[in-house]
Every structure is written in structure tokens, then in C-alpha cells.
Structure 1
């Protein structure tokens, strides 16, 4: 597969857009003192994003997707977010391959 100039520019543009939102947020928020409630909210944001990504899986009838969702819920109850995502992807891939 050969990478064309438009594809490369698209990838670089998406990377710049993603990175710029993080840099701008950092520049605007650095040095500010936040209340404990706001700090807790910032800690919960990654979990909220993951829920918004995973929530549509509750409405599927796909066996591999439901298996991955079940794995994510089981692992999330005992382990961290990374292990939960890894187990969901692994179970989904395995079931997709087997079925």
C-alpha cells in the first residue's frame, strides 16, 4: 500500500487538530487552582468518554460485540480501564474469528 500526498496531509491534519485541542486546553488551564470537585470531574472525563464509545454496544445483537461488552464489564469491576478495553477487544476479536 502506497501513501499518497492527500492521505499524508489528511493524517497530519487530523493529528494537528487532535494535538491542538490538548495544547490549547493546557495553555488555558495551566497555573489555575481548581476546587476538589472540579479536579474529580477532570479525573472522570476519560471514563465518560469511554462510556459514550461503549454505550452503543448495548443496543447491538452482534454476538462478538456483546461478548466484548460483557468482558469489559467484568474486567472493569476488578481491574483498570486499560485492562477492560484490552479484554473487550480481545474477546470481540476472538468471537469474530470463531463465529
Structure 2
């Protein structure tokens, strides 16, 4: 196996830029107190990103994905155990998908 210098430099460059962008944000927020609207934005941004990541596959996934989402929400509310809720949701979606495929109603 040959290590190509251009590929190695590209990987190292991307790693450096990624680290600098993350560390730079922490450094700036330590040195400068952001205005209240930025603080509010940072408090609500993770939820917005989660919805943006989850919504398209949920809409495209059909009934198995919806069933999995319902199981995740119900189990999370009942137990407050995110890992168990996600595992149960994936299991429910997989089970419903397999069941529908066995009946000839889906791929």
C-alpha cells in the first residue's frame, strides 16, 4: 500500500480546519460574552438540528419509521433512557418493516 502525499496532506488539512473551527468557537465564547439573542440561539439550536436531521428520513420512511418514532417517544417519556428508547424504536421499525415485507406489502 502506498501513501500518497497529496491525500495525506488533504486529510491533515481537513482535520486541522475541523479542529480549528470547533476549538475557535469555544475560545471565542470563553473570551466574549455573546448577546442574549445569541445565547438563546445556542440554547435552541441542538433541537432544531435534530428535527432537521430526523424529519426527511421520517417522512420518507413510511409506516415502519413512524411506528419506530412513536416507540422512541413513548419509551423516552416513560423511562428517560435514551439508549433503550432508540434501540426499541429501531427494533419496532425493523420488525414492522420485516412484517410488512413478509406479507408482501413492502420491500
TM-score interval for Structure 1 and Structure 2 normalised by the shorter chain:
0.5 to 0.7
Instruction: Name the residue aligned to 1:26.
Output: 26
**Residue in 2 that maps onto 1:45:** 45
Cα deviation for residue 46 of structure 1 reads: 1.1
Which residue pairs with 2:66 in the alignment? 66
Could you tell me which runs of 5 or more consecutive residues in structure 1 were left unpaired when the two chains were aligned: none
Q: Which has the higher contact order (CA 8 A, sep 6+)?
A: 1
Structure with the larger helix share: 2
Give me the CA root mean square deviation: 3.7
For 1:10-51, what per-residue CA distance to the aligned partner results, in whole angstroms no more than 9, with x for missing partners? 988776554432112112332212233321211111111111
Structure exhibiting the larger radius of gyration computed from Cα positions: 2
Match of 1:91?
89
* Structure 2: segments with no counterpart, 5+ residues: 99-107
Alignment CA distance shift 1:51-1:24 (3 Å): same
TM-score, normalised via structure 2 length: 0.54
- 2:31 counterpart SS class: coil
Is the Cα–Cα contact under 8 Å of residues 64 and 91 in structure 1 kept in the other structure? no
